[in-house]
């Protein structure tokens, strides 16, 4: 199978069901909707220094505490409370490749007083030589590595209850002691 050619913002359409050899689906007229991405917010999170824990049973773990930050989009904006963090595990691959498995927790406070719990999971993948310099070299652009996130949000505030059932993703980057991402709702 050839690899797809995609451009940012594009969606690869599925092949016709009849062309698939390992399906038993007998209703080819039953079509699934293509997803749409709707911009949710731009987020900037300020971080402390990473604290290495070391090579443990699950991999090379380190943690970082979040100092705070801000987010803004058409339906929500506000501040990131200090005290969240990332508990990442880094794994090396053959050659110069490395993947950080990200696991973050934040508390967001909207401009109108709602508190929203935000958890992200995802990966940051690229060459070891690039990823090891992310904390010091602010000249490294987000196109030098790949960082993608899945976001889960929860709140008891009725004004934002729609976040409790949404599916959210983000394209992210790290620059010095800041994580930046653009979050989208998958519709």
Tokens (6 digits) for 44:
């900037």
Place of tokens 């070299």: 137
Residue 152 near residue 164 (C-beta atoms within 8 A): no
Mean pLDDT of 5-27: 84
Mean pLDDT of 152-172: 98
pTM: 0.90
Q: Tell me the per-residue pLDDT of 80-102, one tens digit each, with 9 for 90 and over.
A: 999 999 999 999 988 899 999 99
Residue 5 scores a pLDDT above 80: no
Please check whether the domain covering 33-186 is classified as CATH 2.40.160.20: yes
Please give the helix or strand (H or E) that residue 109 lies within, else none: strand 97-110
Q: How confident is the model at residue 6 (pLDDT cuts 50, 70, 90)?
A: confident
Mean pLDDT of 124-150: 91
Instruction: List helix spans (H) across 5-77.
Output: none
Give the residue extent of every domain in the chain.
33-186
Write the DSSP assignment of 117-180 as a string of letters.
EEEEEEEEEEEHHHHTTTTT-TT--GGGSEEEEEEEEE-S-GGGGGGGG--EEEEEEEETTEEE
């Amino acid at each position: 199978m050839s690899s797809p050619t995609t451009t940012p913002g594009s969606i690869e359409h599925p092949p016709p069901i009849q062309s698939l050899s390992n399906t038993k689906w007998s209703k080819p007229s039953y079509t699934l909707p293509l997803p749409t991405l709707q911009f949710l917010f731009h987020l900037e999170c300020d971080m402390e220094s990473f604290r290495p824990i070391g090579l443990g049973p699950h991999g090379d773990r380190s943690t970082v505490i979040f100092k705070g930050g801000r987010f803004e989009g058409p339906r929500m904006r506000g501040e990131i409370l200090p005290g969240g963090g990332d508990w990442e595990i880094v794994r090396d691959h053959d050659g110069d490749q490395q993947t950080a498995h990200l696991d973050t927790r934040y508390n967001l406070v909207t401009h109108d007083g709602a508190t929203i719990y935000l958890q992200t999971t995802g990966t940051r993948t690229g060459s070891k030589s690039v990823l090891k310099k992310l904390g010091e070299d602010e000249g490294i652009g987000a196109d030098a590595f790949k960082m993608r996130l899945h976001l889960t949000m929860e709140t008891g505030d009725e004004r934002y209850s729609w976040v409790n059932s949404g599916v959210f993703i983000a394209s992210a980057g790290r620059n010095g002691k800041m994580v930046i991402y653009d979050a989208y709702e998958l519709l």
